[in-house]
Amino acid sequence: MRALSALVVTLLALSAAPLAADARTDAKKQIEFGISVAQRGLWREAIYRWERAATIDPTYAAAHNNLAIAYEHEGDLDKARAAYEKAIELEPNNAFIKQNYELFKEINDRTSRQDSQ
């Protein structure tokens, strides 16, 4: 019985890897489509695609980074900050994400200081 339980656990673990790979592949397709529509100025469609990518694979930092950029572009700064923070949480050593977030904070903080004066 123990051997059967171990076999089932092993099979479940092995079957999860292809599912994760499929999720990442599907999420990447959404990311790519989002990039193509954003380049044409269709930011709402890009947001939709990148939200789908983040839902398909919540561990995909690029999806959260792209969402942050799109939210920022659309003026939804609270959502942008949350998306940047999630991307950083997922990939704390990603220089590209860190650079985007630092620039966002610099501009957002400067704008906030000017508004309060």
Question: In the chain, what are the domain boundaries?
Answer: 27-116
Q: How far apart are CA 44 and CA 48, in angstroms?
A: 6
Query: Looking at residue 15, what is its pLDDT?
Result: 44
Half-sphere exposure of 56 (CA within 13 A, CB side): 21
Contact 57, 93 (CB under 8 A): no
Distances from the Cα of 79 to the Cα of 11, 22, 62, 73, 84, angstroms: 39, 27, 15, 11, 9
Query: Looking at residue 108, what is its pLDDT?
Result: 84
* Residue 114 pLDDT greater than 90, yes or no: no
What is the mean predicted confidence (pLDDT) over 76-98?
Answer: 97
Q: Is the pTM of this model over 0.85?
A: no
What is the mean predicted confidence (pLDDT) over 21-50?
Answer: 96
Yes or no: is domain 27-116 CATH 3.40.50.2300? Answer: no
